[in-house]
Amino acid sequence: ETLEASKAEDKPIFVDCYTTWCGPCKWMTANIFTNNSVADYFNENYIAVKFDMEKGEGIELAKQFKIRAYPTLIFTDAKEEILFVSVGANQDPKSYIANAKQALNPEGNLPYYQANKDEIFDNPKKMFGYFKTMSSANMVSQSDVDAYFKQFPVKDWASESNWEIITMTVRDGNNEVFKTIVANDKIFIDKHGNEASDFMAN
């Protein structure tokens, strides 16, 4: 029914993937989707549905979309191509609208970044968009992170875009990127101060 409505109204689909035991899912339902600005934007631009991923059709959808955490918010077109994925519950209503807008952006959504990664791989600003999109979906590849930083001298890692990529994607203290940052900590502390010190300490 959702797919038919998507085709009939020429709108993409928004799926709230939840479980009954998920506290953040309940919080989001009570506090985000009741927000007028969020509700109005989603109702105007999407066919919005929600499924319990542990009951009925939700079980197969969880397998199809490879959902591993809750809440997971999926934006897809009528052909079930995923346009954007967001894992977790953000407390800022504006972030949900921003994600919904990004899903509709043919030069900023998940299919765009997946198709164009190789062409933009040496562009820090565009790769920040790529990694942010992949991070939102819990789809960051550590091999992508490693290969991306290997193409630049370490001093360039401290640029604003690259530092944002680092803080968003580097989570393993044994990772070579992190070890390189620690070995060259002065570069990052000079540029980013306590933020860099706290990042390395954490």
Q: DSSP for 139-175?
A: ---HHHHHHHHHTS-GGGGGSHHHHHHHHHH---TTS
- pLDDT digit string, tens, across residues 36-84: 999 999 999 999 999 999 999 999 999 999 998 999 999 999 999 999 9
For residue 202, what are the CA distances in angstroms to 42, 97, 181? Answer: 37, 31, 13
For residue 51, the 8-state DSSP code is E
- pLDDT digit string, tens, across residues 93-150: 999 999 999 999 999 999 999 999 999 999 999 999 999 999 999 999 999 999 999 9
What ranges make up the beta strands (E) of the chain?
A: 13-18, 47-52, 72-76, 82-87
- pLDDT digit string, tens, across residues 163-180: 999 999 998 889 899 999
pTM attached to this predicted model: 0.90
Q: State the catalytic residues.
A: 22, 25
Residue 172, pLDDT score: 87
- Average pLDDT (25-42) is 96
